Copies of this chain bind each other. A is one copy, B any other.
């Protein structure tokens, strides 16, 4: 499967390198000449993907050493994850002596849509016993989010999730047992990877904490890192031990390390992806002051609850801003019973024009550092024009905005995807939108503390203009 991925991507012109098959008993694989050993390959070999039974891996590594290979990705399992520590140690020792860097073992390797590097042994489709061929492990569209994962299974699940949600991925790295290359090395690489703007990292434990702290601090000044560490409860930690054999240490230590290094921690799967999407699309917030706009009272309250629980400040708006809303009411541009407090509730009589004006007013209010826009499409007069309008001025602002529409049928899905397409991350519940804003606030406060806000913001705004803004 892995070999086929490379051959196919080469045929399609995406993978530009050479690809060789090595197998002692075959003459050719997929019509490509097969070499009996690594040593017999005529040219230089940069990277070896190892997919053989665990006990044969040391021999392959010796061949790789002789061939002066730089990197090995060991997909094979059967090492320390099932107690075979000695075998893993043997592999590490061969690699160390030969200067080969190793990813794995027991991993899914690397996926990079732009270069055609696809080490995933899981085919995109699965043929069911009914004869139906269904998409099972889709490859995501190219994008700016890197996925770094200790769990291969969760990694492919993440690719499946992100593909369905139309969120693009820059690089995917599954490092399994981490016998050599660990979080620190991968983060360091991604810091310098131009395609990657945001890093999503799933871990069960972090080895070499000191290296991690050092690198993470450098990376988070330039790119947001969101970490999802499972095993955060005592029971979860016990389960993690039985899964990877790793002693994860106290969760409080991880919490402290993430805080110190500016890594935004997600507490569950959905938060992980929601936060990643927010930080990929919007600039960080400069303070905890959040303005909420809604056309539905109940969902407005839900958003306030979630903000308050997370320490965000849904404060009373300034007299100046409230005055602007009062003026709109006088001019008949906002219903008399609309609320100019926070949430700003344009009510069920709301229109696209009201959403546009009110959002603009909050963008102009210097006390508001982030905007949550709850644009429930059920309100009779609400169409979809306001989305374009809001996006057109959001795109020139350094203030973050996130959106929400509730529903799982046509117009709700269409509304959210229009927001997404125009660079405003949209969510399907008020609480999800508030969690996304929380990530933007936490990252913004960290950057400011480190004096790194301005630099980050300049780069972010520049990149965003290229991608989303219609030139004025």
Chain A residues with a Cβ under 8 A of chain B? 77, 81-82, 121-122, 126, 128-129, 134-138, 149-154, 156-158, 160-161, 163-165, 202, 204, 230-236, 238-240, 242-244, 268-270, 295-302, 304-309, 314, 336-337, 339, 341-343, 345, 348, 376-380, 383-385, 406-414, 428-432
Residue of B nearest to A298 (CB): B151
* Beta-carbon contact of A305 and B235 below 8 Å: yes
Are A410 and B377 in touch, CB under 8 angstroms?
A: no
Distance of A366 Cα from B236 Cα, bound (Å): 23
Q: Which residues of B contact A235 (CB under 8 A)?
A: 304-305, 307-308, 314
In the bound complex, residues from chain B placing their C-beta under 8 Å from that of A408 are 160-161, 163-165
Q: This chain: how many copies in the complex?
A: 2
Judge whether A82 and B378 touch: CB under 8 Å.
no
CB A372 to nearest CB in B, in angstroms, measures 12
Q: Which residue of B81, B348, B410 is within 8 Å of A135 (Cβ)?
A: B410
Given contacts A268-B305, A268-B431, A270-B431, 13 further A-B pairs with CB under 8 A are A129-B383, A153-B296, A154-B296, A160-B378, A160-B409, A161-B406, A233-B304, A239-B301, A243-B301, A243-B345, A268-B429, A269-B299, A269-B429
C-alpha gap A50/B81 in the complex (Å): 68
Task: Kindly state the separation between the CA atoms of A410 and B156 in the bound complex, as whole angstroms.
Answer: 14
B336 touches A82 (CB 8 A): yes
Pair B298/A135 contact, Cβ less than 8 Å: no
Whole-angstrom distance between the alpha carbons of A243 and B379 in the complex? 16
Q: Are B239's CB and A300's CB within 8 A?
A: yes
Beyond A153-B379, A301-B204, whether A81 also contacts B337 by CB under 8 A is yes
| 25 residue pairs A–B, Cβ–Cβ below 8 Å | A82-B336, A126-B383, A128-B384, A136-B411, A153-B297, A156-B378, A157-B299, A157-B376, A158-B406, A160-B406, A160-B407, A160-B408, A161-B406, A161-B407, A161-B408, A164-B409, A230-B302, A233-B305, A233-B308, A234-B308, A236-B302, A238-B304, A240-B301, A243-B300, A269-B431
A342 to B376, CA, bound (A): 42
Cross-chain contact B151 with A243 (CB below 8 angstroms): no
Indicate which residue in B137, B202, B297, B314 contacts A151 across the interface (CB closer than 8 Å).
B297
Closest approach, in angstroms, between the C-beta of A342 and any C-beta of chain B?
8
Q: Which residues of B contact A165 (CB under 8 A)?
A: 408
Contacts of A314 in B (CB 8 A): 235, 239
B378 touches A231 (CB 8 A): no
Q: Are A298 and B160 in contact (CB under 8 A)?
A: no
Q: Which residue of B lies closest to A270 (CB)?
A: B429
Among B137, B342, B412, the residue within 8 A (CB) of A378 is B137
